Chains A and B, each alone.
Chain A
């Protein structure tokens, strides 16, 4: 099977990246298989579960639905890009502190979406957070501790 390749340049977690990828490759595969950033998870490949959520130019997207070549010239942030050298991101810390992580497989996507929600919607209430996380499936936690964590971040104003 022939596959056309294309060189793309973009910013990933604050650093410039240049890669050559097949034009048929999804962003999720590029992150995981080419760039070895496996924090972003495959769980459905159809945009139905949110486990592959990343930020593209500040907006959360399902990386499994996006072609890698669409990243050209843009700015991506993955779960690996949230943490600073010294400390966990406040949302990551809140998830840890509130016991929101069990198997944790969906949590990179969940944390990316929660961070986006809180950043763009000051003063969210619990019901609004529930609606905002509707696209992120978790099978372990029953979401309760996730909601506790996100609510705590909203209340702390961080």
Chain B
């Protein structure tokens, strides 16, 4: 036995639920981190894109001769260079266009020695267009005889989704109250602080290396390959640090194959990076939608049915946006116990910018409707909203009509916790009474809740994540994981989990997850899945390593492995914490033994969930969770300004892993949701964006951020790592209707159309006053 065992015993401690710093934060705080936007490669050229700047047109001719002759220019590409290389969800897009279908359509691209040369070359390209009448709303797109945006998509129809459950007519007949409204939710965009950027380089064997912002590296290869006419296996994806993603990097967008096409043509690395104006105009959007929703209940407050007829503005091409009904229908059918469901969604092509994935993924739009209708019905019933919500809240063990199995359901707890923390019922009554009294400033309180997948979402055949873990001779651990780091903090979560299992300091865990040739498969950062899926993978890999280490230790020291533990960089006796051997010494003994072994393990974790089938009946996530937000606002009835005073959030997180990271996700999620409901709006006039800058597109800044009161409900998810559930989308989903309900409580006015800008609120208040005066 080791001679240094006389040193002090090491007590068992746990990091689960503690506050752990992001390992990359010091380099980010000091400016040392090189983001993709900061990268320069030897011999690198700068690529620039000529956007159409018109929503719908035929390209009559393009003359690039002058641009090609400009000193410093190495390549000029047009539609013919990408002809036939269709890519995208339904193969309706090409990197460089032969027809213009939206304002930002990529018509030509250049690669030059400097940015200035590239920009000047763009100005020398002469394009003759024949403008076509445009379609700027899904309503117009589906009119009979409407011009076709894509010849092969009749009636401008993109994707369609449907789910029906139960007898709708009977349920309607049995309802005493029905809320029946048309909600309209608007275009917003991600506004990542690091603008879109890609660097591409081909080697002489035809293999592409692309430095990318993707949050989805393995599927990204499949998305990108057809745009270049190469095999996905010939693409290596490197993921440098990026300035935010929020869903926007879940797809391949034309600037990425353009960088690659330019690189192939020039034989040199090419970097394409958007200006902020390009970023606003050319990025994906959150899908705007018209939602005709109806929710019924009986006199005693029992929900009877919910129907949703959703019309989606697809935009010019099909990215992830038109698939959001997959999530919309889960909310329609699963937000409270609703026995009868009728869901129908159709996406229609328009000449607007096209929609992608954005944090909350359809649930933001749907919950804006469902949660307001819950509020409306409570009022019609003259029932305390909390009682109404509690009456219909699912309990653990229930299954939704789509067969989402709510194994651990904490909706009750979330509702009660938030209501109690805010004195909701009392304030709600008080403010609805006060709104009829005189006074410029009106206070309101609003509650909203929702459900979201919290254990991945099996929208592919796989929802898994691979992990490779090695422990070296110095007891330093390297975790090679498929999970991407986009700022959300999976680096801290994995370090924490591995440290917990192997008893090594956090700083001794390194994560490698930025090279698709090294890291194994993962389905990307989306669906609030990474802590759950990659966290489980890291834990399982670490447990394998732990078993191997303890077995070896047992052999050396003669104590059964079950009586040993790993703590503080030592093998210790489980019961008393007495040190048995220093971990790094043990690892070297294992390595240099006559029967040598290294600690290197692999794990592939595939969650216990079912693929989303065509009938949409499957338990598609390994866990589900709920959140309740209560917003308290002050409305200035003169200016229409809605000041958010406080947001109280109670969310079922399963189990807190990294408390600091979790808080950050909830806080940031709320901020994006607040921007959505209060101030952000892409102002489109005939498909052309009128406000492509931060001055005119108002994201939430520090002064608008309200006081936050966060409650984490720990339902202890059987399948999650240490009981954790995914958490990062619900805050963005729930906040908007909480604000709308609070504004109703303050003013008596329903805002079915988002956002609640001061102009819109002031106008509605004025109209209400005019109507009152007429009576």
Contact between chains at B194 and A111 (CB < 8 Å) = no
B476 to chain A, nearest CB (A): 21
Q: Does B486 contact A (CB under 8 A)?
A: yes
Which listed residue (B192, B671, B705) contacts A130, Cβ 8 A?
Answer: B705
Contact between chains at A103 and B671 (CB < 8 Å) = no
Q: Which of B240-248, B381-389, B555-563, B594-602 contacts A (4 or more CB under 8 A)?
A: B240-248
* Residues of A43-88 contacting chain B, CB below 8 A: 43-46, 48-49, 51, 78-80, 82-83, 88
Contact between chains at B663 and A99 (CB < 8 Å) = yes
A108 to B29, CA, bound (A): 6
A45 to B695, CA, bound (A): 12
A92 to B663, CA, bound (A): 20
Tell me the nearest residue of chain A to B275, going by C-beta. A45
Q: Does B150 contact A (CB under 8 A)?
A: no
Which listed residue (B116, B243, B670) contacts A142, Cβ 8 A?
Answer: B670
Which listed residue (B33, B193, B708) contacts A144, Cβ 8 A?
Answer: B708
**How many interface residues does chain B have, given as a range?**
35 or more
Q: List chain B residues, Cβ under 8 A from A88.
A: 26, 29-30
A13 to B172, CA, bound (A): 71
Contact between chains at B244 and A140 (CB < 8 Å) = yes
Q: Does A145 contact B (CB under 8 A)?
A: yes
A46 to B701, CA, bound (A): 17
Which listed residue (A108, A141, A142) contacts B31, Cβ 8 A?
Answer: A108
Most buried by A among B30, B664, B699: B30
Tell me the nearest residue of chain A to B243, going by C-beta. A105
Contact between chains at A102 and B664 (CB < 8 Å) = yes
Q: List chain B residues, Cβ under 8 A from A106.
A: 193, 243
A138 to chain B, nearest CB (A): 7
Which listed residue (B32, B194, B695) contacts A39, Cβ 8 A?
Answer: B32
Which listed residue (B38, B663, B668, B694) contacts A140, Cβ 8 A?
Answer: B668
Q: Does A124 contact B (CB under 8 A)?
A: no
Contact between chains at A92 and B26 (CB < 8 Å) = yes
A127 to B37, CA, bound (A): 33
Q: List chain A residues, Cβ under 8 A from B488.
A: 102
* Residues of A99-124 contacting chain B, CB below 8 A: 99, 101-108, 111
Contact between chains at B660 and A43 (CB < 8 Å) = no
Interface string of A134-158 (1 = CB under 8 A from B): 1111111111111100000000000
Interface string of B737-768 (1 = CB under 8 A from A): 00000000000000000000000000000000
A102 to B23, CA, bound (A): 11
Q: Does A9 contact B (CB under 8 A)?
A: no
- Contact A141 B667, CB 8 Å, known A41-B243, A92-B26: yes
- Contact A141 B29, CB 8 Å, known A32-B38, A99-B21: no
Interface string of B194-207 (1 = CB under 8 A from A): 11000000000000
Contact between chains at A130 and B276 (CB < 8 Å) = no
Tell me the nearest residue of chain B to A99, going by C-beta. B660
A82 to B26, CA, bound (A): 12
Contact between chains at A38 and B702 (CB < 8 Å) = no
A105 to B196, CA, bound (A): 13
- Contact A111 B29, CB 8 Å, known A103-B486, A146-B702: yes
B255 to chain A, nearest CB (A): 16
Interface string of A1-14 (1 = CB under 8 A from B): 10100000000000
Q: List chain A residues, Cβ under 8 A from B701.
A: 133-137, 143
Contact between chains at A38 and B30 (CB < 8 Å) = no
Contact between chains at B37 and A99 (CB < 8 Å) = no
Contact between chains at A39 and B703 (CB < 8 Å) = no
Tell me the nearest residue of chain B to A22, going by C-beta. B116
A130 to B243, CA, bound (A): 22
A40 to B486, CA, bound (A): 19
A95 to B21, CA, bound (A): 10
Interface string of B256-286 (1 = CB under 8 A from A): 0000000000000000000110000000000
Tell me the nearest residue of chain B to A146, going by C-beta. B702
Tell me the nearest residue of chain A to B659, going by C-beta. A99
Q: Does B643 contact A (CB under 8 A)?
A: no
Tell me the nearest residue of chain A to B672, going by C-beta. A139
- Contact A134 B703, CB 8 Å, known A104-B29, A139-B672: yes
Q: List chain B residues, Cβ under 8 A from A19.
A: none
Which listed residue (B26, B34, B195, B703) contacts A131, Cβ 8 A?
Answer: B703
- Contact A103 B487, CB 8 Å, known A32-B38, A42-B37, A49-B694: yes
A135 to B487, CA, bound (A): 22
- Contact A43 B120, CB 8 Å, known A99-B664, A104-B28: no
Q: List chain B residues, Cβ under 8 A from A83.
A: 30
Tell me the nearest residue of chain A to B31, going by C-beta. A39
Contact between chains at B28 and A107 (CB < 8 Å) = yes
Q: List chain B positions with a Cβ less than 8 A from chain A.
A: 19, 21-22, 24-26, 28-35, 37-38, 116, 120, 190-195, 241-246, 275-276, 486-489, 660-661, 663-664, 667-672, 693-695, 699-703, 705, 708
| 9 residue pairs A–B, Cβ–Cβ below 8 Å | A1-B120, A38-B38, A44-B694, A99-B660, A104-B29, A108-B31, A140-B244, A141-B664, A145-B663
| 10 tightest A-B CB contacts, nearest first | A39-B31, A103-B487, A105-B243, A104-B28, A142-B671, A142-B667, A79-B31, A38-B38, A99-B660, A48-B694
Q: List chain A positions with a Cβ less than 8 A from chain B.
A: 1, 3, 32, 37-46, 48-49, 51, 78-80, 82-83, 88, 92-93, 95-99, 101-108, 111, 127, 129-131, 133-147
